Chains A and B, each alone.
Chain A
Amino acid sequence: MLFNSIDFAIFLPIVFLLYWFVANKNLKLQNFLIVVASYVFYGWWDWRFLSLILFSTLVDYTIGRKLLNEENQTKRKILLWTSLFVNLGFLAFFKYYNFFLDNFVEAFSFFGHPINTQGLNIILPVGISFYTFQTLSYTIDVYRKKLEPTKDFIAFTAFVSFFPQLVAGPIERATNLLPQFYKKRTFEYNKAVDGLRQILWGLFKKIVIADNAAQLANEIFNNSADYSGSTLVLGALFFTFQIYGDFSGYSDIAIGTSRLFGFNLMQNFNFPYFSRDIAEFWRRWHISLSTWFRDYLYIPLGGSRGGTWMKVRNTFIIFAVSGFWHGANWTFIVWGVLNALYFMPLLLLGKNRINTDTVAEGKYLPSIREFFQMGITFGLTVLGWVFFRADSIGHALSYLSTIFSKSLISIPHFPQMRLALTTIILIGFFIIVEWIGRNKQFAIQDLSTIKNNYLRYGFYLCIIIMIMSLGNFNENSFIYFQF
């Protein structure tokens, strides 16, 4: 079920009313309702893959219970590896099997030993990368004795399958989300209103910004050979806003929906395009994934301990793995490595933690220095997105070579210029609102402080009318579902 669908618009109020009016007396009933709602939500897409989630849930619940009473270190390790093997095994099979097979075949052919194999026609279960990482966080934290394993199977099932963030995150830590299932939720007006506000902003980002930008980015990327460098720059910019609007929009809707049910999820995007360097960008982009890799991969690899070489190696590993997590294609790996290269000078000069506050805090505009820092960081990010969006490395390279050709100095031109102009104006409005709200959890969170009801409701109405009149209602799927 998509957040931007009529199905969800009907589903959400029904679950909300059942949750607060039927199941509100009993914690177990509330959790059970969440499980049922989550399985309906996921099964709406393809019920067959519910068995996969259920199996992961059973495995990790059982392993968690066994880890509780097991003091033998070797046996504990075997239990941990079992969980890793099962969860990452599913992920590897469904997501990476054909990729590895194709690359083996190509490698053998390259060395003069062609082999004949056929790939499998595998459907990638929606959100498998997200819930796999979420359940793994539980087992690893229990193994590390950072978290008491749960006895409550329903609460654990609800934690694994919690529908607002099941298919595209934020990837929650068991230490944050699971304990919330142990306490009975009571309705909080301000929290619920804040949730609705965040849902509204998420829908604006997705339906107005991302889906309109997507039409233009698709047109330009799919026919990149026909266009000038300046048009390709425009295409890359549209994709830059598409991916941000799409993914952060999803996160906003997920966090907002959770708040309606009394849950707090972690912030996943913290205005990343206002970053002054790449390190800051990565502290603000897909925070739940970056911190997951930091805690469960970078630190176990040794982190920044052990000298420069170790830091460099570990940084490249997590960026490459993070790229590969996004998809079974070399383009994602190159995108990850490219970001590691961007990051490297800051790491080696020890300047990767200088921009930790909000840019131009308390000011209307950034300083000239900050403006240039943001511009350069944004430009580097846009170039990186070309690899992310391109069909192949060759496509990305030819795209970039056209950008850096003489045709860069020309007026952009392509068939959908009218839509492009409308979208540019909308993106302009979007940037202004995001800039004003950049020190909040989401851009329009501060609207609650406007005491004048007419002004506040007028703004909500404006956003809703913009969504209704300028949005793209083709029920476009979210990009991150495929990851």
Chain B
Amino acid sequence: MKIHLSISNFNMKKFIIKTTVFAIVILTLLMSVNYWGDAAKIFHSGYERNIANIIYTGKNATNISNYDERILQKELINKIKSNPDILILGSSRTMLINSSYFENKKVINNSVSGASIEDFIAIYQMYKTKNILPKKIILGIDPWLFNKNNGQTRWSSLKKEYYNFSNKRPDKDVGNNKTQQLFSFSYFQSSLRSLPAIILGKSNPIPSSEIYNETNTKIIDGSLAYSEKYRNVSIENVDNGAKRYIAGGIYSIENFDQISPKIFNEFDDLCKEIQANGIELSFFLAPYHPIVYAKIKEDYKIVLKGENKIIKYANQNNIRIFGSFNPVKIEIDNFGFYDGMHSKEKTIQKILKVRTHNNVYKSLGNW
């Protein structure tokens, strides 16, 4: 019995040592690739500053990918010295709005992908703290803005600014994104793809005088110009992209069951604060691709309810609205899109009532 037990113990020890060593090897590999590959540049903070420095020198920054857009906004705002005329706050769906649409105006686009109410508040707070509030603000409103289950946590990069707005203490449940990503297998796959460029030193942003380049370009006004491949997407691929977009649940609205009263109150507070500071406020509702909107009409009626609520709110508060989630309402067909949710520049110009004259945009929007 004694012998049996000791053999059993010996085997158990051997098993545990071997599995532990193996687990350590795997975890080390996982963490190393995630840390050094760092697809979203969350462990290497200099990347966003590099982009901001390029922009500060009056150049556009190209060859940019997978960085923390919130941190970049912080870096950009830190470098602003005077009050802008027009500020654009929104998501990737408003990121293409650029200063050329507004004649002789100083425009800054601070849109961030998957923007939530916390992002709006935090970015506004940064301008307020620096005392460089703009004369006008365009808020890009997306349907997921009022969805408490939108799954957006990226705003946590700006949690300090967000909580400063209402003098609240940070919630404890704001997750530590860095730790999560260090052990994430999905992040491992992205970081593995970034690793060769990092090893070859080809991952840094490059200054450019051109707006349109081969890769995505951050323009000096903070807006974005898509990569050549994305700009030249065929209509067939746009439609296919829209179909793929609705194949599963639609981005950030799949669990949208009610307009969150809490978020709507925060939104109301922000709008009231903006208007109380004498800033003219407008809403921008970017349309969805017709295929996507048909699905929204069918399965996500809460989005239609949300749009009606926004329109009502805007009317009650003397806020101007541009656009609609419904492409038919604003006469946009599938040629007006890059994919299921991102409008082309010409669509945005049409919504903002911008006309071109000798290749110079002339705004009809009384900016």
Contact = CB atoms under 8 A, between A and B. Distances in A.
Given A460-B22, A469-B192, 20 more contacts: A187-B8, A187-B12, A189-B14, A192-B15, A218-B247, A218-B248, A219-B244, A219-B247, A226-B243, A414-B240, A415-B240, A415-B241, A415-B243, A415-B244, A468-B30, A468-B189, A469-B188, A469-B189, A470-B189, A474-B186
25 contacts: A186-B4, A186-B8, A187-B12, A187-B15, A188-B11, A189-B11, A189-B12, A189-B15, A193-B15, A196-B19, A218-B247, A219-B244, A219-B247, A223-B243, A223-B247, A415-B237, A416-B244, A460-B22, A461-B25, A465-B29, A468-B26, A468-B188, A471-B185, A473-B184, A473-B189
Name the interface size band of chain A: 20 to 34
Nearest to B189: A469
Interface in A39-81: none
Interface in B151-196: 183-186, 188-189, 192
A380 B156 CA distance: 53
Interface string A183-224: 000111100110010000000000000000000001100110
A20 interface: yes
Nearest to A222: B247
A462 B360 CA distance: 57
Closest 5 interchain pairs by CB? A189-B11, A415-B240, A473-B185, A473-B186, A187-B12
Interface string A449-483: 00000000100110011001111011000000000
Contacts of A196: 19
Given A219-B244, A223-B247, A415-B237, A20 B12 contact: yes
B247 A468 contact: no
Interface of B: 4, 8, 11-12, 14-15, 19, 22, 25-26, 29-30, 183-186, 188-189, 192, 237, 240-241, 243-244, 247-248
Interface of B is mostly: helix
Nearest to A188: B11
A205 to B, nearest CB: 16
Contacts of A470: 189
A219 B188 CA distance: 25
Interface of A is mostly: helix
Contacts of A192: 15
Given A223-B243, A415-B237, A415-B244, A468 B185 contact: yes
B324 to A, nearest CB: 27
A464 B26 contact: yes
Contacts of A6: 183
Contacts of A226: 243
A121 to B, nearest CB: 13
Interface of A: 6, 20, 186-189, 192-193, 196, 218-219, 222-223, 226, 414-416, 457, 460-461, 464-465, 468-471, 473-474
Nearest to B18: A193
A474 B187 CA distance: 11
Contacts of B26: 464, 468
Nearest to A226: B243
Contacts of B15: 187, 189, 192-193
Contacts of A460: 22
B47 to A, nearest CB: 23
Contacts of B8: 186-187
Nearest to A189: B11
A470 B243 CA distance: 24
A411 B37 CA distance: 37
Contacts of A223: 243, 247
B146 to A, nearest CB: 24
A461 B248 CA distance: 33
B30 to A, nearest CB: 7
A457 B26 CA distance: 12
Nearest to B192: A469
Nearest to B9: A187
A417 to B, nearest CB: 11
Contacts of A20: 12
A471 to B, nearest CB: 7
Contacts of B19: 196
Contacts of B14: 189
Nearest to A471: B185
A268 to B, nearest CB: 25
A416 B240 CA distance: 10
A199 to B, nearest CB: 11
Contacts of B185: 468, 471, 473
A396 B25 CA distance: 47
A172 to B, nearest CB: 25
Chain B CB count within 10 A is highest, among A189, A218, A461, A474, for A189
Contacts of B240: 414-415
B310 to A, nearest CB: 30
A193 to B, nearest CB: 7
Contacts of B184: 473
A225 to B, nearest CB: 11
Nearest to B187: A473
Contacts of A189: 11-12, 14-15
Nearest to A17: B16
Nearest to B237: A415
A218 B11 CA distance: 46
Contacts of A187: 8, 11-12, 15
Contacts of A414: 240
Contacts of B241: 415
Nearest to B180: A6
A470 B189 CA distance: 7
B323 to A, nearest CB: 28
A471 B247 CA distance: 20
A394 B14 CA distance: 57
Nearest to A416: B244
A457 B247 CA distance: 40
Contacts of B188: 468-469
A169 B104 CA distance: 69
Contacts of B183: 6
Nearest to B10: A189
A426 to B, nearest CB: 14
B292 to A, nearest CB: 14
Nearest to B20: A13
Nearest to A192: B15
Contacts of A219: 244, 247
A337 to B, nearest CB: 30
Contacts of B237: 415
B341 to A, nearest CB: 16
Contacts of A416: 244
A218 B188 CA distance: 25
Contacts of A188: 11
A470 B193 CA distance: 11
B145 to A, nearest CB: 24
Contacts of B189: 468-470, 473
A318 B266 CA distance: 59
Nearest to A457: B22
A471 B192 CA distance: 13
A414 B240 CA distance: 8
A469 B25 CA distance: 15
Contacts of B11: 187-189
A220 B140 CA distance: 34
A219 B243 CA distance: 9
A460 B26 CA distance: 11
A161 to B, nearest CB: 26
A465 B19 CA distance: 16
